[in-house]
Amino acid sequence: MPTLTQLPAWRALWKHFTRARDWSMRELFDTDPERAQRYWLEQDGLILDYSKNRLTDQTLTLLLQLAREAGVPELIEAMFRGDKINVTEDRAVLHVALRNHAGTPILVDGEDVMPKVNAVLDRMARFSRAVRSGDWVGYTNQPITDIVSIGIGGSDLGPLMVCEALKPYAHPRLAMHFVSNVDSSLLKETLKRVHPETTLFIIESKTFTTSETLTNAHTARDWFLSSTGGAGKVARHFVAVSTNRKAVADFGIDPAHMFEFWDWVGGRYSLWSAIGLPIMLCLGEENFHALLDGAHGMDTHFRTAPLETNMPVLLGLVGIWYINFFGGGSHVIAPYDQYLHRFPAFIQQLDMESNGKQSTRDGRPVDYETAPIIWGGTGINGQHAFFQLLHQGTHIAPIDLIASLDGRGSLPGHHEILLGNMFAQAEAFLRGKTLDEARAELRAAGLDAAAVRALAPFKVFDGNRPTNTLLLQRLDPRCLGALIALYEHKVFVQGAIWGLNSFDQWGVELGKQLAQTIVGELSGESVPVPHDSSTARLIALYRQKNLDGEPSVE
Ligand code: G6Q
């Protein structure tokens, strides 16, 4: 099997790049009036305009050829078939089964997983209905008013992002709280705002061994028991979501109050599983199903559409063009929507944890760039902050501008300012401002010739900076489901081209192992073992500050 850099399309792209690197997008638009119409896709309530990129039909033909030569279509089929494409963990990758509303059988080790997926969804729905209606009561017979979800990483970011994004659909009585950080300040501040008689804790952990989550969960249970004077019934106030039944029982949660999922659901792909219980509680069963439906629509499109009109494939390939050829090592996610303010952080984990790798699936080191650094924030706020670098800095960072087209729920006069800014920014990134234009602008503002000469160079913007514009028909559960699935599959396509296993996370596992030893040393439970001199000094300093009788650090 040839490596990526030996593929004919890879080589052809390099040759093509020697010309393409000097193209001006202004000229591409001037010479090709149909461009916006051609580089435009509509799918499952999403509109993607990818015309403001430094590419032509030939670039796309070569990129599509690269996808074929790298085996992207075969890997897509292998995922949907339930093959164990997560080779280092010997697992299938089946978040698509969680939203398989077609109900067609999906086999793992010869067993159709759909009946158990549907059974858990039914249990979640029954539980949500009871909590939302007020039938599920706390130990003093009062309805639940606050839900505290305790989890971290993949067991936190997805539910948090979706509950924020769909706030207008939230149940009016239920306040949602998310506790992820083990720094006790977050839990402390949350507990100040809730009452033990009316609070439901959901402990979210795939493994149920993650120390941050278990520490927060134990502290929350201690708080609950002590503030109810021991009268509180844990069974009415604590439920768990996990794959680890035994650890849930050991913690003291009745397995009857555990919602199950399976090892073939990766953490960062788990919001569609029982990890989405906070979402269902907040938004209701119907809206949760609409979210799944939107994602299922995108799954079907991804699996069946020709590569040429396949939205996740094209988004992935356009990214590859910059990362591997232009050398753009970062990528910006800029939603023009306050409800999507957690979306950049969610995509950051999805992309960087999936493709931040340097070995191929068969264990060879890569000799090309892989995942970019994903960063960003709400676009309109970014305009007053980091957009300066995007316009005039020396890095080229492609930007995804994301917004809801429908402004009807917005306060009068707001949505046009928001989208007006977004469209104007995209135009400015494309066109830039030439020296002549800068001079003309300054002259028109009444400056004299000397001032024009002095100031004009600073007012020059190179432009030619790539953007994708992604519009949601409206920010509703269905469109959001499609949007998230779009990015999941984009990440899949890039990982497939780079030959990576996008579904393991050994870097995260390392963090979990390393901390164990040092935590024992800090708490005084174990004697310090040899470390490098910097780590040893830091441990000694901590012990000196926090443990009695420790010698001072010289
Ligand atoms: C996600 C990662 C990671 C994981 C957390 C929480 O893909 O593996 O972010 O979700 O470390 O793990 P648990 O759910 O096992 O507590």
Q: Is 149 in the pocket of ligand 1 (CB under 6 A)?
A: no
- Cβ contact 180:152 at 8 Å: yes
Instruction: Give residue 513's pLDDT.
Output: 83
Q: Would you say residue 103 has pLDDT above 90? A: no
353 carries an active-site annotation: yes
Mean pLDDT for 270-294 is: 98
Lowest mean pLDDT among 74-78, 142-146, 468-472, 543-547: 543-547
- Which of these is catalytic: 164, 285, 353, 488? 353
Backbone angles phi, psi at 480, to 5 degrees: -65, -40
Specify which of 353-357, 516-520, 522-526 reaches the highest per-range mean pLDDT. Answer: 353-357
Position 107 scores a pLDDT of 94
Contact yes or no for 266/93 (Cβ under 8 A): yes
State mean pLDDT over 491-510: 95
Flag whether pLDDT at 269 surpasses 80. Answer: yes
pLDDT score at 355 = 98
Mutate to test the pocket of ligand 1, among 202, 203, 206 (most ligand atoms within 8 A of CB): 206
Task: Say what the pLDDT of residue 231 is.
Answer: 84
Kind and range of the H or E element at 97?
helix 95-98
Taking the CA of residue 269 as reference, the ligand 1 atom at the shortest distance is 7
Catalytic residue among 34, 384, 525, 554: 384
pLDDT for 21 equals 96
Percent pLDDT > 70 in the chain is 100
How much is the average pLDDT of 186-199? 98
Closest atom of ligand 1 to 152 CA is 6
The model's confidence at residue 409, banded by pLDDT at 50, 70 and 90, is confident
Buried b (16+ CB within 10 A) or exposed e, 265-281: bbbbbbbbbbbbbbbbb
Whole-Å CA distances, 545 to 256, 517, 552? 44, 19, 9
- Average the pLDDT over 378-387 and give the result: 97
* Residue-level pLDDT at 294: 98
Centroid of ligand 1 to alpha carbon of 357 (angstroms): 17
Cβ(273) – ligand 1 distance below 6 Å: no
pLDDT value of residue 247: 96
Mean pLDDT of 41-69: 98
Which position has the token pair 């999507």? 340
Mean pLDDT of all residues in 62-70: 98
pLDDT score of 553 more than 80? no
Q: Is residue 508 within 6 Å of ligand 1 at its C-beta? A: yes
Taking 80 as the threshold, does the pLDDT of residue 48 lie above it? yes
For residue 195, count other CB atoms closer than 10 A to its CB: 13
Q: Is the CB of 206 under 6 A from ligand 1?
A: yes
- Of 180, 218, 502, 505, which is best to mutate to test ligand 1, by the most ligand atoms within 8 angstroms of its C-beta? 505
Q: What is the pTM of this model?
A: 0.97
User: What is the arithmetic mean of pLDDT over 471-485?
Assistant: 98
pLDDT exceeds cutoff 80 at 112: yes
Q: Is 86 in the pocket of ligand 1 (CB under 6 A)?
A: no
Q: Looking at residues 311-333, what average pLDDT do you find?
A: 96
pLDDT tier, 511 (very low <50, low <70, confident <90, very high otherwise): confident
Q: How far is CA 126 from the centre of its chain?
A: 28
Model confidence at 516, pLDDT cuts 50, 70, 90, reads confident
- The answer, yes or no, to whether any atom of ligand 1 lies below 6 A from the CB of 354, is no
Atom 8 of ligand 1, nearest CA residue: 267
In the predicted model, is pLDDT for residue 554 greater than 90?
no
- The pLDDT score that the predictor gives to residue 76 is 98
Q: Residue 234: what pLDDT?
A: 93
Mean pLDDT computed over every residue of the chain: 96
Instruction: Answer yes or no: 384 catalytic.
Output: yes
Please report the atom of ligand 1 found closest to the CA of residue 505.
8
Kindly state if the Cβ of 243 falls inside 6 Å of ligand 1.
no
Kindly give the distance from the C-alpha atom of residue 162 to the centroid of ligand 1, in angstroms, as a whole number: 17
DSSP 116: H
239 φ/ψ angles, rounded to the nearest 5 degrees: -130, 165
> What was the pLDDT predicted at 30?
97
Cα–Cα distances in angstroms (integers) from residue 35 to residues 25, 433, 528, in the given order: 11, 21, 64
Ligand 1 centroid to residue 503 C-alpha, Å:
12
Tell me how far the alpha carbon of residue 95 lies from the centroid of ligand 1, in angstroms.
Answer: 15
Distance 146 CA to ligand 1 centre (A): 24
**Three-class DSSP category at 454:** helix
Residue 534, pLDDT > 90, answer: yes
pLDDT average, residue stretch 165-169: 98
Question: How confident is the model over 216-252, as pLDDT tens digits?
Answer: 999 999 999 999 998 879 999 999 999 999 999 999 9
Annotated active-site residue 357? The verdict is no
Cα of 266 from ligand 1 centre, angstroms: 8
The average pLDDT across 55-66 equals: 98
Whole-angstrom distance, CA of residue 554 vs CA of residue 532: 16
**Alpha carbons 266 and 243: distance in angstroms, whole number:** 11
Q: Nearest residue CA, atom 1 of ligand 1?
A: 267
Chain mean position to CA 221:
30
CB of residue 59 inside a 6 A radius of ligand 1: no
What is the mean predicted confidence (pLDDT) over 380-402? 95
- Low-confidence winner among 225-234, 383-392, 429-438 (lowest mean pLDDT): 225-234
Check pocket membership of 155 for ligand 1, CB cut-off 6 A: yes
Span from the CA of 204 to the centroid of ligand 1 (angstroms): 10
Confidence of residue 283 (pLDDT cuts 50, 70, 90): very high
